[in-house]
Amino acid sequence: MKYTAESVLQSLRQVVHPEKGKDIVELGMIQNLVAGEGKISFEIQSPKANDPLLSSIKKASSIALRNSFGGEVENVLSIKVNTPVVTPAPLRTGPLPGVKNIIAIASGKGGVGKSTVAVNLAVALAKTGALVGLLDADVYGPSIPKMFALEGERPEIKNINNKEMMIPIEKYGVKLLSLGFFVNPDDAVVWRGPMATNALKQLITLGDWGELDYLLIDLPPGTGDIHLTMVQEVAVTGAVIVSTPQQVALADVIKGIAMFAGEKINVPVLGLVENMSWFTPAELPENKYFIFGKEGCKQLAQNLGLDLLAQIPLVQSICENGDSGTPAVLNSGDPAGIAFSTLAANLISKIEKRNLEMNPTKKVEITNTDGCDVVKPK
């Protein structure tokens, strides 16, 4: 019998994580799925460290597959379970002590889908039950308000411990702050240098972010002032770099990676996300057209020894959902939804691994001597 990834996922959607109350496909728990002639194999990865429910979820998964495909499926089925180990939360100092992991979403070029990835990743992480915030650091062209259909909204300002704090707006389980909530979108683009960096500092330090598992920071394109301000203000756990598979985009990616990984900034690069990997028309979901070239990021990741965290297809729904403020990952069944859930699951395990193997990142101190910037870790 020939099995397909779609039919297997359809079947596994019947299995609900008892504590999270959501199905295991939606939670992004199914990884490395291979389905074909007389073969089904996959791994079940729990979003929770030391999840005691994993073995019963494994059992429930094989029952679901037997119900869908009949008893013979047991002969061809291989299920592995991965239990992430408990990660001691890294010690954090300075602003945002309640935030366990700060993840920068960066790219070399603009328009490669950084904000789209940040938005869908944030919602996908929140769907796993994690506490998630998203800070729009693209002060020159904030797009988060539109992508959440929150244009014209204004965060409440509250006096907390004698400080005027901004209360992030919450939608789809994600706490959001963006300069776009405070200024006319047409004005933001004329912001320059110190004004822009001050605005970012305020979003970080005067945002009432509270307790978060992940705070994602959606950066502007390139490697500029805003990036330096970010690494001076907070200790960034790691960076995720978004690119298309195209050669010119990849050249800029290398610059972005060099900035984070350089010894002065020293923020670990957690991996690459290949966006617009292939085009898939809605009416021909099996077809893939590699319009920006094939597997450019995958190869670059291999060459640089980095992880490729996900390949996101170019689909019309991602663009339309971005414009209408309903992130594509909310449709857990479609290819975009599955790709973003996979990204979230892979990133969660990568962060756990990073926190086990490496020390917490230090904030960067920048002093100005003789007109030259001297960058050194604090």
Ligand X SMILES: Nc1ncnc2c1ncn2[C@@H]1O[C@H](COP(=O)(O)OP(=O)(O)O)[C@@H](O)[C@H]1O
User: Which chain residues interact with ligand X by CB under 6 A?
Assistant: 107, 110-116, 143, 275-276, 312, 314-315, 318-319, 322
Calpha distance 269→246 (Å, rounded): 20
Q: How far is the CB of 312 from ligand X (least distance, A)?
A: 5
For ligand X, the closer CB: 96 or 105: 105
Contact 221, 108 (CB under 8 A): yes
Q: Does 275 bind Mg ion (CB under 5 A)?
A: no
For ligand X, the closer CB: 11 or 277: 277
Contact 101, 209 (CB under 8 A): no
Q: Does 178 bind Mg ion (CB under 5 A)?
A: no
Interacting residues with Mg ion between 255 and 274 (CB under 5 A): none
- Residue 252, binding choice from Mg ion, ligand X, none, Cβ under 5 to 8 Å by partner class: none
Q: How far is the CB of 258 from Mg ion (least distance, A)?
A: 21
- Residue 116, binding choice from Mg ion, ligand X, none, Cβ under 5 to 8 Å by partner class: ligand X
Q: Which of 309, 332, 329 is nearest to 318 (CA)?
A: 329
Write the DSSP assignment of 151-162 as a string of letters: TT----EEEETT
Q: How far is the CB of 110 from ligand X (least distance, A)?
A: 4
For Mg ion, the closer CB: 27 or 174: 174
Within a 10 A sphere around the Cβ of 69, how many other Cβ atoms?
18
- Residue 312, binding choice from ligand X, Mg ion, none, Cβ under 5 to 8 Å by partner class: ligand X
As a whole number of Å, the CA-based R_g of the chain is 21
For Mg ion, the closer CB: 45 or 178: 178
For Mg ion, the closer CB: 27 or 105: 105
Which residues, in sequence order, are bridge partners of residue 107?
A: 242
Q: How far is the CB of 17 from ligand X (least distance, A)?
A: 27
Question: Strand (E) positions, the chain?
Answer: 16-17, 22-23, 30-36, 39-45, 77-82, 99-107, 132-136, 157-160, 163-166, 169-171, 174-178, 212-218, 238-243, 269-279, 308-314, 364-369, 372-377
- Residue 276, binding choice from Mg ion, ligand X, none, Cβ under 5 to 8 Å by partner class: ligand X
Q: Does 115 bind Mg ion (CB under 5 A)?
A: yes
Cα 219 to its chain centre, rounded Å, is 13
Question: SS3 sequence, 52-110?
Answer: CCHHHHHHHHHHHHHHHHCHHHHHCEEEEEECCCCCCCCCCCCCCCCEEEEEEEEECCC
Q: Does 229 bind Mg ion (CB under 5 A)?
A: no
For Mg ion, the closer CB: 143 or 223: 143
- Residue 237, binding choice from ligand X, Mg ion, none, Cβ under 5 to 8 Å by partner class: none
Q: How far is the CB of 114 from Mg ion (least distance, A)?
A: 5
Q: How far is the CB of 260 from ligand X (least distance, A)?
A: 17
For ligand X, the closer CB: 310 or 348: 310
The distance in angstroms from the start CA to the end CA of the chain is 60
Among all residues, whose Cβ is closest to ligand X?
113
- Residue 322, binding choice from ligand X, Mg ion, none, Cβ under 5 to 8 Å by partner class: ligand X
Q: Which of 11, 59, 325, 345 is nearest to 178 (CA)?
A: 325
- Residue 139, binding choice from ligand X, Mg ion, none, Cβ under 5 to 8 Å by partner class: none
366's CB contacts (< 8 A; 6+ apart) are 228, 232, 373, 374, 375, 376
149's CB contacts (< 8 A; 6+ apart) are 324, 325, 326
Q: How far is the CB of 319 from ligand X (least distance, A)?
A: 3
Interacting residues with Mg ion between 130 and 169 (CB under 5 A): 138, 143
Q: How far is the CB of 275 from ligand X (least distance, A)?
A: 5
Q: How far is the CB of 220 from ligand X (least distance, A)?
A: 8
Using CB under 5 A as the criterion, which residues of the chain lie in contact with Mg ion when the complex forms? 114-115, 138, 143
